[in-house]
C-alpha cells in the first residue's frame, strides 16, 4: 500500500482542504501517514500570505526531497496558484496544481512518474471549483467548518 503524507501550510481553509485530500487519498488505497513520517507521496498544501510562507514551502519541499529522494512531491494551494514556475524550478517536484484542480489531486497523481520536468496544472480560477462538505477533520482535535472562501 503506498504511503502519503499531507503537509498543510497556512490558514484554516487549507487545513480543512487537506483533511478532504487525505480522506480522498485514503479511499484510493493510500495509507495516510503523519507528515513527519517517510512516504511515497508528499502533498504540500501551500500558503502565499507572505514571502516567509513561500520560503517555508520551498524549504519543506527541499527537505522532503533530501530525506526521501525517490518520493513524489506535489504542491498545491495558494503559492502553487500564484507562482507555479518558482515551484517547478525546484528539482524533484513532480506536479504543481493550482487551487482550481486541487480537488482532482488523487486522480492526477494516479499515473505520476518521476520525470525530468515538473508538470504544472495551472489554473484559471473559479469560485466553486473546490467545494467542501460541512466539516473536515485531519490531524486536528477540532473539526473545521467552512463558512467562507
Strand partners, 32: 4
Tell me the pLDDT tens digit for each residue of 70-94: 999 999 999 999 999 999 999 999 9
Which domain, by its residues, includes 63? 3-123
**134 in a domain, yes or no?**
no
Q: What is the pTM of this model?
A: 0.80
**131 in a domain, yes or no?**
no
**48 in a domain, yes or no?**
yes
Around 103, how many Cα atoms within 13 Å sit in the side-chain half-sphere? 9
Tell me the pLDDT tens digit for each residue of 9-63: 999 899 999 999 999 999 999 999 998 899 999 999 999 998 899 999 999 999 9
**148 in a domain, yes or no?**
no
| CATH code of residue 75 | 3.40.50.12160
Q: What is the pLDDT of residue 26?
A: 96
Handedness of CA 74, 77, 81, 84 (dihedral sign): negative
**74 in a domain, yes or no?**
yes
Give me the number of domains the chain comprises: 1
pLDDT at 128 over 80: no
**130 in a domain, yes or no?**
no
**34 in a domain, yes or no?**
yes
Amino acid at each position: 500500500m503506498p504511503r502519503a503524507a499531507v503537509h498543510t501550510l497556512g490558514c484554516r481553509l487549507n487545513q480543512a482542504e487537506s483533511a478532504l485530500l487525505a480522506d480522498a487519498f485514503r479511499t484510493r488505497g493510500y495509507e495516510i501517514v503523519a507528515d513527519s513520517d517517510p512516504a511515497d507521496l508528499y502533498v504540500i498544501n501551500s500558503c502565499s500570505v507572505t514571502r516567509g510562507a513561500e520560503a517555508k514551502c520551498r524549504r519543506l519541499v527541499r527537505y522532503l526531497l533530501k530525506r526521501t529522494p525517490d518520493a513524489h512531491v506535489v504542491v498545491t494551494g495558494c503559492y502553487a496558484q500564484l507562482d507555479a514556475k518558482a515551484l517547478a524550478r525546484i528539482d524533484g517536484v513532480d506536479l504543481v496544481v493550482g487551487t482550481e484542480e486541487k480537488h482532482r489531486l488523487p486522480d492526477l497523481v494516479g499515473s505520476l512518474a518521476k520525470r525530468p520536468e515538473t508538470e504544472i496544472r495551472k489554473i484559471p480560477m473559479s469560485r466553486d471549483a473546490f467545494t467542501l462538505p460541512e466539516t473536515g477533520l485531519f490531524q486536528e482535535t477540532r473539526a473545521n467548518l467552512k463558512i467562507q472562501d
